[in-house]
């Protein structure tokens, strides 16, 4: 009974939006099948987006696009599969648009809050300075202590690579 009420509501809403002339020209979608597909569309949209609000927006966009393109649906074919295909394509297009927009963000431009984006980047000069300081301090140690430190570091490095320890390292100050 609720499905019939939803179908009547859809008919009335679509007639107001599209007008009676469009309703008579295009073949109507089977409303019971359309209404029955909505819960499954919502579940699939929830899986795709991971967010209830975005999922509802995706379902709404899918139904609107399905209604716009209803003349492309072949009567007798699976309406639910057709709607799922539309939903998947809408989702992929939205993701591609979002990715493209994210790549076009200016790091120097002001955002909505009036502050520019700031990305933390480690200066390569600092790494070089730290390495020079470590090597200088390492050269001040006695040879035995230096070898122990170098071998301990080398064995830890080899262990993280899941390979046998490399003991062939020579220290030349």
For 7-47, write each residue's pLDDT tens digit. 566 666 666 665 554 444 555 666 778 888 889 999 999 98
Say whether domain 2-102 belongs to CATH 3.30.2010. Answer: no
Using CB atoms within 10 Å of the CB of residue 3, give its burial: 0 to 12 exposed, 13 to 18 middle, 19+ buried: middle
Is residue 95 over pLDDT 60? yes
pLDDT value for 23 = 46
pLDDT value for 22 = 46
- Asked if residue 79 lies in contact with residue 35, where contact means CB atoms within 8 angstroms, the answer is no
Q: Which residue has the higher pLDDT, 95 or 154?
A: 95
Angstrom distance (rounded) from CA 34 to CA 29: 7
- Asked if residue 117 lies in contact with residue 105, where contact means CB atoms within 8 angstroms, the answer is yes
Domain spans, the chain: 2-102, 141-173
For 67-79, write each residue's pLDDT tens digit. 888 788 888 888 8
Is residue 54 over pLDDT 70? yes
């Amino acid at each position: 009974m609720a499905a019939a009420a939803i179908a009547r509501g859809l008919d009335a809403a679509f007639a107001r939006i599209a007008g009676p002339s469009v309703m008579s020209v295009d073949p109507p979608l089977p409303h019971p099948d359309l209404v029955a597909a909505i819960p499954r569309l919502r579940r699939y949209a929830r899986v795709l987006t991971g967010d209830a609000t975005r999922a509802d927006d995706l379902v709404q966009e899918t139904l609107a696009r399905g209604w716009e393109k209803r003349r492309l649906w072949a009567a007798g074919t699976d309406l639910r599969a057709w709607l799922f295909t539309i939903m998947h394509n809408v989702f992929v297009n939205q993701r591609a648009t979002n990715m493209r927009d994210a790549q076009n963000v200016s790091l120097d431009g002001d955002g909505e809050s009036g502050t520019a984006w700031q990305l933390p980047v480690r200066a390569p000069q600092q790494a070089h300075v730290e390495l020079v300081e470590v090597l200088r301090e390492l050269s001040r140690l006695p040879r035995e202590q230096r070898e122990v430190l170098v071998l301990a570091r080398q064995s830890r490095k080899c262990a993280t690579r899941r390979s046998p320890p490399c003991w062939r390292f020579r220290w030349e100050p």
